[in-house]
Amino acid sequence: MKILVCIKQVPQKDAPLKLNESGTWIREDVSYEVNEPDAYALEEALRQKEKHGGEVVVITAGPARSQQVLREALAKGADRAIHLEDDKFVQLDSTNTARAIAAAVAEENFDLIVTGLQSDDFGAAQTGVLLAEILGLPHATIIIGIEKTDSGLHLKRELEAGHYQYVDLPTPAVLTIQSGINKLRYASLIGIKQAKNKPLRKVAWAEVEPKLSKNLQQIERLYVPVKQKKTEMIDGPAAEVARKVTEYLKNTARVI
């Protein structure tokens, strides 16, 4: 199978995020990492290749710094990478991001396209589904199991509240992958070495721009959420905190 994996670089989970001066985006001087569900999508692609042969190609859209997630993917075993490289890709909505990816891979015929079910930054959970619509392919979301069959794919979907469903799809198809579908691997030293010589194709903004349109949704402002509850913050040494919390539970909340 020839597999495309769409991955994104997002701020690290515990990075202290600050708003920019205009309150429209975060300050970009933070540490980044690969979006976690995308890491699972990559791992699943590598496992499918190991079972059935083929090729794994990774793609990302973002500034120069996001090359890091492609290098890591190559070190883990991806065969080559495509980088839609420009600061402007960060502010695209899901539809335009999907259009940019579709334009960058227009010459390739993938059997399978996988990506994480959502990103830790925007969290819109749309890019994979939109990519399927743009490419005219069937899709399935929130996948926690992939089995190749003679005619396509036998997939396990996660539903809400502990429910599941199997679906069958023909290939080529687009899947969004749920975290936890597999166990992530680490890059080996030899993998990291080999990654340096693997092909990485850069695609400039101008090459895909004709395929993009105006963002149909705009972030007017970004802000720290207004508190819904009055929170009693307790601090001090551990013993004192323990005493105060217990007092609260006993006398104020009356739950013990």
Partner 1 sequence: MADTILVVAEQREGKLNRVSFETIAGAQAIAKEMGWTVEVVLAGSGIASLAQELAGKAVVRVYALEAPVLATYTSDAYVFALKQLIQDKQPKLVLFPHTYQVRDFAPRLALALGRTLIADAIGYKHENGKLLFTRQMFQGKFAADVSFGSDGPWLATFQIGAFRGDQAEGSATVENISAAVADGPARVTPHEVFQEAKQAVDLSQSEVIVAVGRGIKEQKNLALAEELAKALGGEVAASRPICDNGWLPLERQIGSSGQTVAPKLYFALGISGAIQHIVGMKGSSTIVAINKDPEAPIFEIADVGVVGNLFDIVPALTEEIKKAKA
Contact track, partner 1, 44-73, x by CB under 8 A: ------------------------------
Taking residue 43's Cβ as centre, other Cβ atoms within 10 Å add up to 21
- Of the pair 21, 163, the CB lying nearest partner 1 is at 163
Q: Is 221 in the site for partner 1 (CB under 8 A)?
A: yes
- 256 lies in the binding site for partner 1 (CB under 8 A): yes
Q: Going residue by residue from 124 to 163, which x/- string records binding to partner 1, judged by CB under 8 A? A: xxx--xx-xxx---xxxxx---------------xxxxxx
16 binds partner 1 (CB under 8 A): yes
Q: Say how far apart CA 250 and CA 256 lie, in whole Å.
A: 5
Token representation of residue 73: 């993917």
Q: Which helix (H) or strand (E) holds 141?
A: strand 139-148
What is the distance between the alpha carbons of residues 229 and 255, in angstroms, rounded to a whole number?
Answer: 18
Minimum Å distance from CB 80 to partner 1?
28
Site track 169-208 with partner 1 (rule: CB under 8 A), x = hit: xx-------xxx----------------------------
Q: Does 168 bind partner 1 (CB under 8 A)?
A: yes
DSSP classification of residue 125: -
Question: From the CB of 209, what's the least distance to partner 1, in Å?
Answer: 18
Q: Dihedral through CA 1, CA 85, CA 14, CA 157, nearest 10? A: -30
| C-alpha pair distances (Å), 208 with each of 97, 100, 102 | 10, 6, 9
